[in-house]
């Protein structure tokens, strides 16, 4: 994993965001299996925390910087990422409570799809800000 200075992000490296998109999509597939089997690999509390995944840990190292255009969307990305984890944690909590059908219904609901799609779309958009400008 490339090293990132705490206050500066290299625009030529969008790998953290690419990995975040892939990681969250892969995790959603595993989460769907967990909902079918009724067995989670982590607690609902852990799932609801937005700083337990690799991307969330990386986000905590970033700071808004008025001189860095890529950081303009940082607060939006953090909020969307947090919302995704909070919602997923609520779904996992239903499963932990033995409410398998309720958990599955929430997972397949338009509301969770909006949360998921919004995060992925905004990550894809943010990723463009990390690519070098064509002169």
Domain ranges of the chain: 15-128
Average pLDDT score over residue span 87-91: 97
Reported as a single tens digit per residue, the pLDDT across 95-119 is: 999 999 999 999 999 999 999 999 9
How far are the Cα atoms of 23, 121, 135 from residue 8, in angstroms, in the given order? 23, 23, 22
Range name among 46-55, 70-79, 107-116 with the lowest pLDDT average:
70-79
Say if residue 131's pLDDT is above 80: no
First to last CA, the chain: 28
Top-level class of domain 15-128: mainly alpha
The two tokens of residue 86 are 């909070």
pLDDT value at position 13?
64
Helices 100-107 and 74-96, packing angle to 10 deg: 160
């Amino acid at each position: 994993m490339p090293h990132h200075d705490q206050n500066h992000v290299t625009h030529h490296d969008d790998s953290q965001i690419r990995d975040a998109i892939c990681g969250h999509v892969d995790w959603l597939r595993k989460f769907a299996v967990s909902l079918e089997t009724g067995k989670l690999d982590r607690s609902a509390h852990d799932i609801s925390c937005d700083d337990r995944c690799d991307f969330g840990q990386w986000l905590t190292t970033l700071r808004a910087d008025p001189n860095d255009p890529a950081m303009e969307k940082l607060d939006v990305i953090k909020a969307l990422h947090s919302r995704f984890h909070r919602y997923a944690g609520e779904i996992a909590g239903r499963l932990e409570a033995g409410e398998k059908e309720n958990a599955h219904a929430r997972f397949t609901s338009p509301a969770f799809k909006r949360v998921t799609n919004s995060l992925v779309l905004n990550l894809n958009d943010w990723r463009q800000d990390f690519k070098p400008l064509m002169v």
